Amino acid sequence: MAKLYFYYSSMNAGKSTILLQSSFNYRERGMETMLWTAAVDDRYGHGLIVSRIGLEAEAHLFDAGTDMFAGIAAQHAQTPLSCVLVDEAQFLNMAQVWQLAAICDRLGIPILCYGIRTDFQGQLFEGSAALLGVADTLTEIKTICECGRKATMNLRVDGEGHPIREGEQTEIGGNDRYVALCRRHFVERRSGH
């Protein structure tokens, strides 16, 4: 039985690197994969999954109106897929997560989703919340805080490194905008202590 997997972490844990390595492993064995990433994330150009260590691959784009089931099923009908991998999965909506689950259940294709769990205020993203509830397998990818503990939170910062406490849930950025911290240091930095 195909499963829906959710690999989650804070920022800068290597999710895109792991996704690209997983796709490579399938392709190296002659199996077809299909990659997806969020259209809203254009840091490296549209239609690319890029890791901080320099790996990259072309990917299909999704936004709030994308029918994931239809797009994947159409590709599978042309070229049978062995796996579908979704980067920036926190930007999926509830309906899309259920579409991905249907791909597993009805078409027998494993779906591997990679994303961050919470935003800069410690709130779940819609896609992450849905995946935490629906996925067959949940796996935390660990990274470390500046203190050496496990980082679980994403602190949004301004150009001088000061914490941002309010704003839109989604603001695309990397190391210039976000710092992965343990909960203790996240709370301390947000409160100014």
Q: Are 80 and 105 in contact (CB under 8 A)?
A: no
Enter the tokens of residue 8.
């989650």
Closest CA to 132 of 153, 119, 118: 118
Q: How far apart are CA 171 and CA 110, in angstroms?
A: 30
Establish whether 140 is a catalytic residue: no
Active-site annotation holder among 32, 58, 88, 160: 88
Chain centre to alpha carbon of residue 180: 15
Question: Burial, 143: exposed, middle or buried (Cβ in 10 Å; 0-12, 13-18, 19+)?
Answer: middle
Q: How far apart are CA 29 and CA 94, in angstroms?
A: 33
Active site residue ranges:
88
